[in-house]
Amino acid sequence: MVDLGTQYARIKPKVDEAIQKVIDSADFINGSAVNKFAENLSNYVYCNHVIPCANGTDALQIALMACGLKRGDEVIVPAFSFVATAEVVALLGLRPVFVDVNEITFNIDVSKIEAAITPRTRAIIPVHLYGQMADMETIMMIAKKHDLFVIEDAAQAIGAKILTPRGIMLSAGATGTFGCTSFFPTKNLGAFGDGGAIFTNDPELAKKAKTIANHGSSEKYYNDIIGINSRLDTIQAAILDVKLGELNKYSYSQQFSASDYNDALRGIDGVLVPERAPDMVHVYNQYTIKVLDNRRNELKRFLAESGIPTMIYYPVPLHKQKAFSDYAVKGQFDVAEKLAKSVLSLPMHSELNVYQIRYIADRITKFFW
């Protein structure tokens, strides 16, 4: 699915030097590379404040904690996402309220958000799934009208953008109250381990999130609020800073691969290629097709026999997960359920080449032949 070995080989001298520098200075916790990376990342995502933390799940938790929500408050989340999006909500004693997704974009269906809002609703967590932003312009309008926080789950979408009809550029993670991202190795900006970050343009909320991530302390050994311990390793920050310099190249490469896949697969009856709106910068953390006529699992097996790995993100929609059985009482999630049965993600990474894509497309053609 990814080729982290080849990706590393191309930048090995720079990465090795950055790691060695941290080791030589023994600057392991909150070292200077962490601040430097946060500053560079803040420029990259067009956001004033970046708070690095231990992983993307923590980023979501810290952002929610910084919003100061009360036990039982409701938070709207899409029914089709990685578990972390809704897990942190429930973990904090809040109530995840699921909303169905759009069949074309895979993202939260904005036309169904308002019906899910109650007097207890305090926040929306849109997910920019597979690397394409949710309809943030509409989400921000709804949030403003109902006085809600917006916490973007941009774990799969660093560098993604939308140009609105009014010519305003919205950048993934920098548009809501908070944005959260992950540096899990297979994300577009991947560490050599775990990592995450929180984005905000609000200086007060930035301070609060930073305090929460640091045991609720802004001055050492003086603890003002209950927080957690969530830090980005200095070694990871040093690696990420090198890879941030390559990120546009990685994104372009994945965009070209997506377009090669589209050209090769669009004519095949039996699959639907992912659609991208013309005013979107889609960063393709995943290239996800829909397989028609219930043949997804059969195609997956067929490709595996040809040595082609594929993944199902995600086989169970959130409202059907056992862990959320207490919350999923209301609503219909037909699209999420349909997608869980039809989506198939093909290999997608910065090192993919056109011959590999042609081979994969040939095998898919053969399957439907």
Residues that bind ligand PLP (CB under 6 A): 55-57, 81-82, 84-85, 127, 153, 155-156, 182, 184, 194, 196
Nearer to ligand PLP, 67 or 86 (CB): 86
How far is residue 312's CA from residue 296's CA, in Å, rounded to a whole number? 9
**225 in Cβ contact with 216 (< 8 Å):** yes
- Other Cβ atoms within 10 Å of 151 Cβ, number: 29
Q: Which residues pair with 200 in a beta bridge?
A: 49
Q: Which residues pair with 122 in a beta bridge?
A: none
Nearer to ligand PLP, 152 or 351 (CB): 152
Nearer to ligand PLP, 34 or 155 (CB): 155
State the minimum distance, in angstroms, from the CB of residue 62 to ligand PLP: 12
Name the residue with the smallest CB distance to ligand PLP.
56
Nearer to ligand PLP, 127 or 328 (CB): 127
State the minimum distance, in angstroms, from the CB of residue 157 to ligand PLP: 9
Nearer to ligand PLP, 135 or 194 (CB): 194
First-last CA distance in the chain: 25
State the minimum distance, in angstroms, from the CB of residue 236 to ligand PLP: 11
How far is residue 106's CA from residue 127's CA, in Å, rounded to a whole number? 9
Nearer to ligand PLP, 190 or 271 (CB): 190
Nearer to ligand PLP, 49 or 187 (CB): 187
Nearer to ligand PLP, 138 or 186 (CB): 186
DSSP E strands in the chain: the ranges are: 49-53, 74-78, 95-99, 121-124, 149-153, 161-163, 169-171, 178-182, 196-200, 217-219, 222-223, 271-272, 280-281, 287-291, 343-346
Tokens of 20: 């060695």
State the minimum distance, in angstroms, from the CB of residue 362 to ligand PLP: 30
**258, 235, 324, 311: which is closest to 22 by C-alpha?**
235
Instruction: Report the amino acid identity of residue 6.
Output: T
- Classify 347 as helix, strand or coil: coil
State the minimum distance, in angstroms, from the CB of residue 155 to ligand PLP: 3
Distance of CA 314 to the CA centre of its chain: 13
319 burial via Cβ count (<10 Å: 0-12, 13-18, 19+): buried
State the minimum distance, in angstroms, from the CB of residue 240 to ligand PLP: 13
State the minimum distance, in angstroms, from the CB of residue 365 to ligand PLP: 30
State the minimum distance, in angstroms, from the CB of residue 52 to ligand PLP: 12
Instruction: Report the amino acid identity of residue 82.
Output: F
How far is residue 181's CA from residue 50's CA, in Å, rounded to a whole number? 10
